[in-house]
Homo-oligomer: A and B are copies of this chain.
Amino acid sequence: MANRSQQFSVAVHILCFLEFNKNDRTTSELLAMSVNANSAVIRRIMQKLTKAGLITSTLGTNAAITLVKQANQITLLDVYRATLENNQDLFIIHQDTNPTCPVGSKIPHLLDGVYSKVQATMENELSSITIDQLVKSGIVQGGNP
């Protein structure tokens, strides 16, 4: 399978934080405190979210990080695709199987078909969940970040 990183989870965390704190200014320092990670780690993930058009940020004093799209228009599939970039495949298929073996020669293509279906199902489920839903369902409004 593709990826053992926490980046997807942290990215969702960041986006939820931005939505929750949208009436105040959010910095990478503030995010780093919430996530409990180094601010450079946060900025590293922010780059991917920026590239994907999910967030935007300004520089300098009073710099702020904000959502580009409305929170109910950002799905977990968007975040998944933004953070995983190159390795979005759920499963890895071993290549270079024996081409002269009736099993070995067909396994890669066979697995490809199966994995595509499984992944499509998963992505479909991810696309049904929005950042807005997460914030509204799980995070009580009104506290201090």
Interface 9-mer from A50-58, A60-68, A114-122: A114-122
Query: Are B107's CB and A12's CB within 8 A?
Result: yes
Q: A17-B103, A20-B103 are in contact. Are A118 and B114 (CB under 8 A)?
A: no
Number of copies: 2
Does A59 touch B at the CB level, under 8 Å?
A: no
Residue A44 CB within 8 A of the other chain: no
> Is A3 close to B, CB under 8 A?
yes
Cβ-based interface call for A5 (8 A): yes
In the complex, the answer to whether B36 meets A98 with C-beta atoms within 8 Å is: yes
Residue on B nearest A20 in the bound complex, by CB: B103
Q: Which of B5, B36, B106 contacts A96 (CB 8 A)?
A: B36
**When the two chains form their complex, are residues A36 and B97 in contact, meaning their CB atoms are under 8 A apart?**
yes
Contact with B along A1-15 (1 / 0, CB 8 A): 111111011101100
Decide yes or no: A102 and B143 within 8 Å by CB, A1-B5, A5-B1, A10-B94 being known contacts.
Answer: yes
Q: State whether A92 touches B5 (Cβ < 8 A).
A: yes
Q: In whole angstroms, how far apart are the Cα atoms of A45 and B94 in the complex?
A: 14
Residues in B with CB closer than 8 Å to A4 are 1-4, 87, 92
A-side residues, CB < 8 A to B, are: 1-6, 8-10, 12-13, 16-17, 20-21, 33-37, 76, 87, 90-94, 96-98, 101-104, 106-107, 109-111, 113-114, 117-118, 121-122, 125-126, 129, 134, 137-140, 142-145
